[in-house]
């Protein structure tokens, strides 16, 4: 979407090695006014394309990366996230269907992300130590997914080699035979 909507219309007809710093700066200055997050993501994409082209071996496709404005790929958070108070959390959990209550509590008390929670299975949790390995890794086993599996596992090993301790107040909810 970013490529088709924001990069191709202006820069898509030009050869990469013919795009100058001035053209990139002009493109960025005119890019999606008032939509700072879109601007940052589109610039990051363009910078990544040029970085890859400049580092291609043995013959780089471009002599240098013309997308090198510091901070252009960053944006400030527009809305401040306010976590739920204990009373609000209690209300949220009480209103949820039973099958989602533990998920909400693990998210709140163990700072687990949705993707980690969605892939979590009871067998992943060590009830002796009240720990769960992070992240739970479940990938398709088809040959078509082998490249994706390699990249995802490499990222997960580098970024998240840690376990999460389960809060004691939740461990009773995890006992075998629990209907949730």
| pLDDT tens column, 107-123 | 888 777 788 888 877 77
At 164, is the secondary structure helix, strand, or coil? strand
Is 116 within 8 Å of 135 (Cβ atoms)? yes
Q: Tokens 């080699």 belong to which residue?
A: 161
Look at residues 14, 18, 42 and name the one whose alpha carbon lies nearest to residue 28.
Answer: 42
Residue 65's CB is within 10 A of a number of other CB atoms, namely 19
Report how far residue 169's alpha carbon sits from residue 162's, in angstroms, rounded to the nearest whole number. Answer: 21
pLDDT digits (tens, 9 = 90+) for 47-85: 999 999 988 888 888 998 999 888 788 887 777 888 888
Q: For residue 104, is pLDDT > 80?
A: yes
């Amino acid at each position: 979407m970013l490529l088709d909507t924001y990069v191709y219309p202006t820069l898509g007809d030009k050869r990469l090695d013919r795009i100058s710093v001035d053209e990139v700066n002009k493109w960025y200055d005119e890019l999606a006014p008032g939509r700072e997050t879109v601007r940052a993501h589109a610039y990051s994409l363009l910078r990544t394309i040029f970085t890859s082209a400049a580092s291609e071996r043995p013959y780089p496709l471009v002599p240098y990366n013309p997308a090198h404005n510091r901070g252009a790929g960053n944006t400030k958070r527009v809305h401040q996230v306010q976590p739920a108070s204990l009373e609000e959390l209690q209300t949220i959990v009480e209103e949820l269907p039973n099958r989602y209550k533990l998920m909400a509590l693990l998210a709140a008390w163990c700072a687990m992300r949705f993707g980690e929670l969605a892939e979590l299975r009871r067998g992943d949790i060590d009830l002796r130590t009240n720990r769960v390995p992070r992240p739970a890794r479940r990938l398709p086993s088809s040959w078509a997914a082998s490249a994706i599996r390699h990249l995802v596992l490499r990222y997960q090993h580098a970024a998240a080699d840690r376990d999460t301790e389960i809060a004691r107040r939740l461990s009773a909810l995890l006992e075998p035979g629990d209907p949730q």
